[in-house]
Amino acid sequence: MPVKLSTEDKIEIVLIFGDNYKTCRETAEIFNNRHPDKIINFTTVRYLINKFKNSGSVENKFRKKHRTWVTNEDIETDVMQSVVENPKCSLRKRSNLLNVSKTTVARILKANKFKPYKPHFTHTLKEGDSERRFEFCACIQGELEDNRFMTRQILFSDEATFTSNGTVSSQNFRWWSDVNPNFHVQTRDQYSFKTNVWCGIYKDRIVGPFFFRNNMNGERYLQFLNTQLSDFLDELPLNERCKIWYQQDGAPCHCNRNIRDFLLHAFNGKVIGRYMEFLWPPRSPDITPLDFFLWGYLKENVYLQRPFQNVDHLERIIRETCEAITPDVIRNVIKEFNKRTITCLERDGRYIEVL
């Protein structure tokens, strides 16, 4: 059950918030330390501060009109605090716990712009994965202490498959959208075709895309590194080339001895990957910029332009969609990567996309 706050408690929260411009989280922490029997959340603080700003008072005003909508602000406060403390509780169960009608609970949540979200299914972490993820994120944050531009010096890389009928590989793809794309997949198309795409994210740009009509293997990957990727590196200024890191995941085609030796030589040992000193953690799409952003963005926008005439047409659409991504978007993606490594540390290496 949510904690009942007296008028004095609410005034104290407002005063703490106003002391040297405290944040909602800091205010909640200070109040909880003073009153361990009345634990509140930062959302409760935000709600009280907004009410104080709008009405000039922290006291609840009884509403005689629209009694079925909400009888008083105590009910609304109780509902919102209950949701913050237990977001997984159903409307029916929450209604019974608070002795408030289910309709009233639903309307309060809607008025405060709370929506129900379905869970995202993630890879199952195996034994030791959380520790490896924690260690990787700790190394990233340690490097950032010495060089705050370090993550802007990483060339993040990955491959994905695009098909003419929109078939999505569930291994490394997550669909992100603020509206339902109503996406339908034709899974049996004898005339379908596909292309494999390598892309990189570096500083404020997309590197590539580069296309492979055949499945990627170690030989083709090494040839790509020797040609297209080397051409990209040759175009960089020498002082920038010396600082660049290369990141790749643990796909089998990335891990043979020839490829590791080539990368270590080309990047002066600055390689993040499997079997490397700077180890990339397996099963970590939630902290991979190409997984948590690029592939979802590309597939959402590319597949909206179906049908494709042929594989050349498909590749042209992919290339045009990549070129339309602005530098500001990429810079925000790198910032998001930094935030996700911190969140992963806070969760002891567990997945961060458990929403």
| Dist. CA 231–CA 228, nearest whole Å | 5
Residue-level pLDDT at 353:
62
Average pLDDT rounded to a whole number, residues 55-73: 58
Query: What are the tens digits of pLDDT across the range 190-233?
Result: 457 899 999 999 999 999 999 998 888 999 999 999 999 999 99
Task: Read off φ and ψ for residue 78, nearest 5 degrees.
Answer: -60, -45
Looking from the CA of 295 toward its CB, the CA atoms found within 13 Å total 29
**pLDDT range class, residue 94, cuts 50, 70, 90:** confident
User: Is the pLDDT assigned to residue 189 strictly greater than 60?
Assistant: no
Q: How far apart are alpha carbons 100 and 56 in whole angstroms?
A: 27
Q: Which of 51-65, 112-126, 155-169 has the highest mean pLDDT?
A: 155-169
> Where in the chain are the domains?
7-111, 129-346
Tell me the mean pLDDT in the region 50-73.
63
pLDDT at 123 over 80: no
Answer with the residue of higher pLDDT: 54 or 149.
149
Of 170 and 30, more confident = 30
45-54, 143-152, 287-296, range with the lowest pLDDT: 45-54
More confident residue, 215 or 315: 315
User: Quick check: 287 and 337 in contact, CB under 8 A?
Assistant: yes
pLDDT number for residue 170: 45
Give the strands of the sheet with 271-273, arranged side by side. Answer: 205-212, 194-202, 154-163, 245-247, 271-273, 278-279
Report the pLDDT value the prediction gives residue 184, as an integer from 0 to 100. Answer: 46
Q: At the fourth CATH level, which superfamily is domain 129-346? A: Ribonuclease H-like superfamily/Ribonuclease H (3.30.420.10)
Residue 176 has pLDDT above 50, yes or no: no
SS3 sequence of the chain = CCCCCCHHHHHHHHHHHHCCCCCHHHHHHHHHHHCCCCCCCHHHHHHHHHHHHHHCCCCCCCCCCCCCCCCCHHHHHHHHHHHHHCCCCCHHHHHHHHCCCHHHHHHHHHHCCCCCCCCCCCCCCCCCHHHHHHHHHHHHHHHHHHCCCHHHHEEEEEEEEEECCCCCCCCCCCCCCCCCCCCCCCCCCCCCCEEEEEEEEECCEEEEEEEECCCCCHHHHHHHHHHHHHHHHHCCCHHHHCCCEEECCCCHHHCCHHHHHHHHHHCCCCEEECCCCEECCCCCHHHCHHHHHHHHHHHHHHHCCCCCCCHHHHHHHHHHHHHCCCHHHHHHHHHHHHHHHHHHHHCCCCCCCCC
Confidence of residue 266 (pLDDT cuts 50, 70, 90): very high
pLDDT value of position 68: 44
Task: Quote the radius of gyration of the chain (alpha carbons, Å).
Answer: 26
Q: In the predicted model, what is the mean pLDDT of residues 243-259?
A: 92
